[in-house]
Structure 1
């Protein structure tokens, strides 16, 4: 929010410098983000009156002006502005004047010179040349009573400072100059100039029938008809100037009056063309399919969650946000209807963002605007309309339906002292709250505060504690070192950190990506098989409309981005949160009801397995490369891989990953359908795992170095072709060898193309090396043979295998 210092000091003028004023507001919670002068530096520019303007003898677009600057003799000045004419008063830069610096940062010096053979003794200035605005259409015309020869800086009050505040959402009561002045008065103790709004007597009986059909949308609706208004009247220069210093350009007198009162008192209002309203007004919720052309030229479609003001024929306005084009005031308008209402904040919040725009009115109403002063502010608007545009006001129409309940809030003085961290007594707390204009009563160390109607941010005890410390002053808080010892929270050794997981993946050749948690809805349906994704109410973009339940889509998008830029080999990973529906999740400090938010780690590999390599033939990355990476991630735990189905992965080249009997993720090649859709030359291989499983890191159990030589025996067993390696190895490790089996490794697989003696079609031979050892003595042949026989018998019993002859 931006405003000039001079306007603020009209309401509250403490004996502080500009910088002290800014510091006071900032320490009071109203952060002053920027301070800048209302006009750049310039000198020797005075008010001049053009006495005569004649055509230049040697140029069609130049005029030779005789200008009175209060020096007795007239100055001869050549000017090319189209509005240079006798009788107007304009800024005149005298010889030796310095104009504001240009783009090069150097000031522009006015010298005596000649233009097309005619001497020019100065320069007549536009607003743009003085850096007051971007208007360069002609000379800046000053008021007719501006004193000739006076310094323009004094006449236009240019020695002013513009304040820009960065307000938090709970400070809606400070979204006006008067609101800031009210806070400044409480912070400094300087008197506040409280405005008076005397009623304007009605000059006719004209009224507009208004029906409020939605009290949950509008709690109070006030309005008045003003007839015979001159809409062509010019906005006074003082109002144009104040609006400009608030960052608002002048439009028309009626629009400027409405904007002026909004900046002055924080009251958004709307002025309708009374003659364009068909019948009566109805304040209600919209109906699906209704359309409205807004003042900004956009046509929007409303639904039953958007409030509107409608007449008997059509929708005329978006409630609390923006008026419609059909009833906008114009030069032909003669009768107007002035409206000011209280809109429930929850009925306005988020509505304008549905249509991709925001307004000053919506910004204020969705935070809360004082419902008690609608009539008084209409009286103020009416008086400004009469003073500037004339007219005949009708009687006030005020409908009060439902206003916010002002629930008392209790403050325990001892609790405030404990939270703030400094000793406080009841008198200090009460004094601070009363300086804010709050109604306070006390009993046994407990203060009961009734929030005023303009404060929507006071609901709990902590809100009052914040107000107390704001007024007392943050700078008065004592500096107390912490009493409790600070001890680091060390993670258990049995759990990896996220950083360690990232380092491990980086060591495997992957690069980390960071992606949005909201993705395209089609990704959820196609890649995650999620028919009901969690949709965003207000997505930042149409292609980011749902929360992701898988990291796969984000990695494929990163791959596509790299391939479009001619990358040949891509290995990326991401650690991120996913979002799935789970009715068992309750709302806590870190969870939301019905939504589970686990962390996952996912990786993608594309292109050559090792890049360019001189010593062997280049091969593309395959399933087993990534399977090895997954095993490295889960080490020292042993993962089991089982054939599986996944909507994003190839049906025959996909495995589920299990750890201690729990499914922890999937690994596999991208489905051919999605490979074709994403236009990949080769199929990338992906994995996605629960991060908790990856972070689990069992501590090693140390064993002494064997004192006796181990023995190795190779066996070849014949099993059916359908028997998997895991099934055979499970049988081997579950055999009863008396604790002698130390390791087993598959080192050869043989499948005949045709039946051979001892090996039929549909069978295969698996060669397994067994490592046997004892910690007590060297193994004998009898012990080794018994252990081997136990392994062979176990394979026969579990998978139907037999020893190859």
Structure 2
């Protein structure tokens, strides 16, 4: 919210500078985001009066003017050549004398006025427009000042161009600060400066006409007030002081009635609407909309309402969008003579989100959806009526009584403040007297209750304080008035002990760096995803749903990171990327009834951390030294093994809803399943419109962070012995099964390593190789460690024999001949 400092000081004027005032508001919870001035720096410009304006002898568009600038010109009129179309005798305008400096131009340098000669006529100054002074964008000619402007007065002083413009950044709970008087009320409480009552003088009633209004929805409108005013002149000019204040609040002048309505909204915080009474057919009805009804708004847009939007209608059509914007059918115009002034209390819940449905917002809706004082409707109408009579009144103006309907107002619930509790929360000794002083300055009525547990102040919030609902709200008020700067610097009493990172666990940052070293790029995605991803990629038909999703596609919480990675991949492929390697470290959300609510958990929801990766396109990218090779299961498997090294992983063939049935595996670490790896299922590759299938993996983060503590071991005293064995097994037997069987062999010598270095399968029709159809030959290299003793041929032969015997027993293997 933007407003001029001078308007605020009309209500509350503490002995503070502009910066001190802004700091006080900021420390009081009303953050001043920006301080600006009405006009940029310039000097030497005064109020001048054109005494004579004659045509330039050698230029059709120039006039030679005689300008009176008073004492500033030593009593002699200045001759100034001017090309403005409205330069004429009798008007008062800003006059820049020789030596004056105008605001900086596009080059950032000020423009200095010198004696010039235009088409042979000397000019001793310059007559200025509002745009040249950079106080408006009007290009209509010279800035015409009121006829009573004193000649020779500094234009900055006369127009109050040094007035500061304050921009507040208000949180949604500070609805009572969305008006000049509301901010003045807070400033008075923070500084103790005097605050006069708001201007709400009653206008003399001289008529009896009323417009019948029927409120049909008590959950939409809690109070509806209105007044008929007859015989006004809408072609009157809005006073310059009102136009100036509105402009400095960022609101342009429209017409007298609209300006008055906006002025009172900024002044008191109560939005209102003025109808052309003669355009209303029959009576008004306040109700929820009906499906199919349409309304042409004041901004020219035609919208369609439904049962969730409040409206004001007459006997023929919808006339206004309740609490947001009026309709064009009953808008006031220059021909309007009779009006109906409306001010209402709309329930915040009935206004919230309605503007966003139609992709626009209004000042009225911004206030109503946060909460407007329900007791302010009558004072606002009285203030509007007074201004209408003063500005648009005629001898025939008739002011009729206010019709005030109170349907259902918010119930004010007292809130208790325990003084001892306030002291504990604020962190400093607080007395009952300090709390009472704070409530008195904030105009909060209270009752003091003394008990065994200490004093309790029972506060009844005023109608404009929607934010005071619990004890903590009152504690905040006390802290604001005492001042956050008054809080003592209290060191923590508990000792601070640095937590030592276990050597057997690495950090998430180290894991990220390792993945980056492997060529993967990190992505960060939303935790809420499309419901179809959960169904397709995990088979989750009952995902955790969001009560209020930020967008329709993001309606459920993810139970896997794969969908997020695929979505990023598709975005990159759509932009012609040929090689994509991604990873994400994030949280997933799983239903688990055993989980209870704690400081870090939510009942029924398990929230483990996962690390997932995706490889698409060439393994190393295009280069001259080697041929292109697409990322496949085995290349990505190598990355996973490098990620968890020096642990040895097991990969067991298994099926996953998101992965290719024949090209996927479950990842085991020390016999425990920690995740999955595999190629994307062809069905989903086609659905996601990917030219080739990416390879994905997803692992439990806690397992991926574990690493064995390095342990020193002696260098073998004797050379390790290697023996190669070729065994024939059935095609269905995997090397992992062979490896397991070798590990179970009862040998006197330690087998340090088992390496598969060749696989042979017979060609169809050949039988002399010793390997039949349906079989394969595995060439295995055994590394034998004597553990500090020299191995003999006899020891080696016994070990190989034991291995072959165990293989025959476990997997029906035989030596290849």
Same fold? TM cut 0.5:
yes
- The 8 Å contact of residues 551 and 688 in structure 1, kept in 2 or not, is answered as yes
- Which residue is 2:444 aligned to? 438
Alpha-carbon distance in 1 for matches of 2:741, 2:297? 76
Greater shift in the superposed pair: 8-17 or 764-773:
764-773
1:369 aligns with one of 369, 372, 377: 372
Does 2:134 match 1:131?
yes
CA change 1:684–1:8 in 2 (3 A) is same
Alpha-carbon distance in 1 for matches of 2:58, 2:514? 82
Alpha-carbon distance in 2 for matches of 1:311, 1:267? 23
CA change 1:137–1:712 in 2 (3 A) is same
Does 2:772 match 1:760?
yes
User: 1:121 deviation in Å?
Assistant: 3.7
Alignment of 1:170-569 (within 5 A): 170-390=173-393, 391-442=397-448, 443=450, 444-517=454-527, 549-556=559-566, 558-559=568-569, 569=579
Residue aligned with 1:317, SS: strand
Greater shift in the superposed pair: 202-211 or 520-529:
520-529
1:96 aligns with one of 78, 99, 106: 99
Does 2:745 match 1:744?
no
- The 8 Å contact of residues 669 and 685 in structure 1, kept in 2 or not, is answered as yes
- Structure 2 spans left out of the alignment, 5+ residues: none
User: 1:569 deviation in Å?
Assistant: 4.3
CA change 1:192–1:730 in 2 (3 A) is same
CA change 1:660–1:398 in 2 (3 A) is farther
Residue aligned with 2:458, SS: strand
CA change 1:713–1:285 in 2 (3 A) is farther
User: 1:253 deviation in Å?
Assistant: 1.6
Residue aligned with 1:46, SS: strand
Residue aligned with 1:337, SS: strand
Alpha-carbon distance in 1 for matches of 2:352, 2:372? 13
- The 8 Å contact of residues 276 and 330 in structure 2, kept in 1 or not, is answered as yes
Greater shift in the superposed pair: 541-550 or 415-424:
541-550
CA change 1:716–1:678 in 2 (3 A) is same
Alpha-carbon distance in 2 for matches of 1:599, 1:336? 64
User: 1:79 deviation in Å?
Assistant: 2.6
- The 8 Å contact of residues 201 and 386 in structure 2, kept in 1 or not, is answered as no
Q: Deviations over 1:737-756 (max 9, x none)?
A: 58955543323221112352
CA change 1:651–1:740 in 2 (3 A) is same
- Which residue is 2:27 aligned to? 27
Alpha-carbon distance in 2 for matches of 1:630, 1:460? 52
Residue aligned with 1:394, SS: strand
Residue aligned with 1:626, SS: helix
Alpha-carbon distance in 1 for matches of 2:528, 2:52? 68
1:156 aligns with one of 145, 154, 159: 159
Does 2:729 match 1:726?
no
Alpha-carbon distance in 2 for matches of 1:225, 1:738? 109
Alpha-carbon distance in 1 for matches of 2:470, 2:168? 26
User: 1:551 deviation in Å?
Assistant: 3.8
CA change 1:253–1:639 in 2 (3 A) is farther
Alpha-carbon distance in 2 for matches of 1:542, 1:110? 61
Alpha-carbon distance in 2 for matches of 1:609, 1:507? 14
Alpha-carbon distance in 1 for matches of 2:606, 2:247? 50
Greater shift in the superposed pair: 545-554 or 423-432:
545-554
CA change 1:78–1:208 in 2 (3 A) is same
- The 8 Å contact of residues 353 and 538 in structure 1, kept in 2 or not, is answered as no
Total equivalences in the alignment: 805
User: 1:237 deviation in Å?
Assistant: 0.6
Alignment of 1:608-687 (within 5 A): 608-611=618-621, 616-646=626-656, 648-659=658-669, 663-672=673-682, 682-687=692-697
Q: Deviations over 1:400-440 (max 9, x none)?
A: 23333322222222332233232222212221222111122
User: 1:505 deviation in Å?
Assistant: 0.9
User: 1:17 deviation in Å?
Assistant: 2.0
- The 8 Å contact of residues 181 and 198 in structure 2, kept in 1 or not, is answered as no
User: 1:582 deviation in Å?
Assistant: 6.5
Alpha-carbon distance in 2 for matches of 1:424, 1:276? 60
Alpha-carbon distance in 1 for matches of 2:209, 2:89? 45
User: 1:629 deviation in Å?
Assistant: 0.8
CA change 1:596–1:301 in 2 (3 A) is farther
Alpha-carbon distance in 2 for matches of 1:593, 1:201? 63
Alpha-carbon distance in 2 for matches of 1:150, 1:192? 32
- The 8 Å contact of residues 78 and 118 in structure 1, kept in 2 or not, is answered as yes
User: 1:182 deviation in Å?
Assistant: 0.9
Alpha-carbon distance in 1 for matches of 2:299, 2:603? 40
Alpha-carbon distance in 2 for matches of 1:199, 1:188? 30
CA change 1:261–1:682 in 2 (3 A) is same
User: 1:36 deviation in Å?
Assistant: 2.0
Alpha-carbon distance in 1 for matches of 2:456, 2:133? 58
**Given the two structures, how large is their TM-score scaled by the length of structure 2?**
0.88
Alpha-carbon distance in 2 for matches of 1:765, 1:132? 91
Alpha-carbon distance in 1 for matches of 2:815, 2:282? 99
User: 1:10 deviation in Å?
Assistant: 1.0
Alignment of 1:12-51 (within 5 A): 12-51=12-51
User: 1:602 deviation in Å?
Assistant: 2.3
1:105 aligns with one of 83, 102, 108: 108
Q: Deviations over 1:5-50 (max 9, x none)?
A: 1111111111222222222222222222222222223333232333
Alpha-carbon distance in 1 for matches of 2:271, 2:503? 60
Q: Deviations over 1:576-612 (max 9, x none)?
A: 3445667776666555677655433222333433346
Alpha-carbon distance in 2 for matches of 1:183, 1:717? 89
Alpha-carbon distance in 1 for matches of 2:235, 2:96? 32
Alpha-carbon distance in 1 for matches of 2:322, 2:314? 13
- The 8 Å contact of residues 716 and 788 in structure 2, kept in 1 or not, is answered as no
User: 1:764 deviation in Å?
Assistant: 1.6
Q: Deviations over 1:427-484 (max 9, x none)?
A: 1222122211112222232222222221122222222222222111222222233333
Q: Deviations over 1:533-570 (max 9, x none)?
A: 77778877888777655444554555566667776644
- The 8 Å contact of residues 585 and 592 in structure 1, kept in 2 or not, is answered as yes
- Structure 1 spans left out of the alignment, 5+ residues: none
